[in-house]
Chain A
Amino acid sequence: MIADDATFRTLMRASQKGDKQSYTVLLGECEKWLRRYFAAKIAPGVLEDLVQETLISVHRKRASYDPERAFLPWLAAIGRYRWIDQLRKTYRANEAELDENLVADPQAEAVSAKISIESLLEKLPEKQAEVIRLVKIEGLSISEASAMTAQSESLVKVNIHRGIKKLNSIVEE
């Protein structure tokens, strides 16, 4: 069973004061909560790294938690930021290898991340998903994406903006 918000708050308050025993329990509970939080959002192959990175961020940014407020919305915000950051990094680092990996090792992290983001993009209107793929993932310029999709440059920008806004709201659900 995962602790409730009041327990998290008590543990975090004590941790901010330097209580190591509370901190050990807190990080263990955060780990469990984060696994459940990310489970529906990300491929199993990258879950471990993401939970670890988020716990490190919890550690580094613990001063940003306001002890007068609920804990879990803060933890979710830290987790969401790390998740989006990891997706961005994975895409940049593996863009060149992505096609080969897709054939050679379907379980590779980059592929898992791609499957994860592809499943999110499928929830967007096709025009928005298309320009996000071209500009934000494949790195084309606005004008190149405009030429490829027969959308005007301003429409490409609008569709990217709206699509990313919608992705954010999907992620927050």
Chain B
Amino acid sequence: MTHNINSSSNGFSIDALVDDLQPVSPISLKRGFAIVGAMTLLALAAVYVTIDFRRDVMAGIPDPMFFLRLGMLLLLGTATGIAALSMGRPAIVSEKRSSGTVYWKWAVMAALLFPLSAFVTLLVDTELFMQDFHTVSSVKCLVTSVTASLLIGGAMTLWMRRGAPINLSLTGMLIGLSAGSFGAAAYSFHCPFNAVAYNGVWFPLAVAISTLIGWLVVPRLIRW
């Protein structure tokens, strides 16, 4: 039997959709990433204005740990950001696999070396670990990083509302993870601590909080 829903009894008609047609520009990952980049720079500027950059960065001779930490956070943010934004342009399995959206897991595994190293430090030299733990500063790390991630994640969520993600939980989680990484990267320009015990606990915790917020909140905002 051949059906025709050009005009249906429930009011639906293809003609109405055609009448409503307006030109649209396809959503662009480049534009999405430009927004993420702009928000990260804004967060960085806010860090500079409110709590200043660390001394070695200002002097132009940053500690190697600064580069290592910043590089890892930017890599993680970029890999998960590509995966998150790609989910706004859905496709069934074979297309998805070829689009690189599955490689973010490798970046997560590489980033896990930081908390793993912190854990090893705890086992090998507990006293040293506790000395480097800096509990008071950690609050500033968490609050600043998560606040920055809310700014970045909010922009990503707005961008995603034009898209058509089909796995809402994963998309939300990836937005949180990417935004958390970029937010922590912005804060890392201020953070004066270089110890593994610090970097392996508080930065990952900030990223984890942002990921959790993304997983819990974002799906409700991008449902379609």
Interface residues, chain A, with chain B CB atoms under 8 Å away: 15-18, 20, 23-24, 27-28, 31, 35, 48-49, 51-52, 55-57, 59-67, 69-70, 73-74, 76-78, 80-81, 172
Contacts and interface: CB of A to CB of B under 8 A. Distances in A.
Given A57-B164, A81-B164, A63 B26 contact: yes
A105 B90 CA distance: 38
Contacts, number: 101
A65 B23 contact: no
A63 B27 contact: yes
Given A64-B26, A64-B88, A77-B164, 12 more contacts: A15-B21, A27-B14, A31-B3, A48-B8, A55-B5, A55-B17, A59-B20, A63-B163, A64-B89, A67-B26, A73-B92, A77-B92
B186 to A, nearest CB: 29
Contacts of B93: 73, 172
Residue from A15, A27, A64 having most chain B Cβ neighbours under 10 A: A64
A76 B14 contact: no
Interface residues of B, number: 31
Question: Chain B's interface: helix, strand, loop or mixed, by majority?
Answer: loop
Nearest to B9: A48
Interface of B: 3, 5, 8, 10, 12, 14-15, 17-27, 88-95, 162-164, 166, 224
Contacts of A51: 5
A19 B95 CA distance: 27
Given A18-B23, A77-B166, A80-B166, A59 B89 contact: no
Nearest to B19: A20
Residue from A55, A62, A73, A77 having most chain B Cβ neighbours under 10 A: A77
B8 A64 contact: no
A55 B14 contact: yes
Give 7 nearest A-B pairs by CB, closest first. Answer: A18-B23, A77-B90, A73-B91, A61-B164, A64-B164, A73-B95, A63-B24
A78 B17 contact: no
Given A64-B88, A77-B166, A31 B14 contact: yes
Question: Chain A's interface: helix, strand, loop or mixed, by majority?
Answer: helix
Contacts of A23: 17-18, 21
Nearest to B28: A66
Nearest to A58: B17
Nearest to A63: B24
A79 B88 CA distance: 15
B25 A63 contact: yes
B166 A52 contact: no
Contacts of B94: 73
B90 A27 contact: no
Nearest to A35: B3
Given A78-B90, A78-B164, A16 B23 contact: yes
Nearest to B11: A52
B168 to A, nearest CB: 9
B167 to A, nearest CB: 9
Given A31-B5, A48-B3, A64-B88, A17 B164 contact: no
Contacts of A56: 12, 17
A172 B92 CA distance: 7
B43 to A, nearest CB: 27
B172 to A, nearest CB: 15
8 contacts: A55-B14, A63-B27, A65-B26, A73-B95, A77-B90, A77-B91, A78-B164, A172-B92
A20 B18 contact: yes
A28 B90 contact: no
A23 B19 CA distance: 10
Residue from A59, A67, A80 having most chain B Cβ neighbours under 10 A: A59
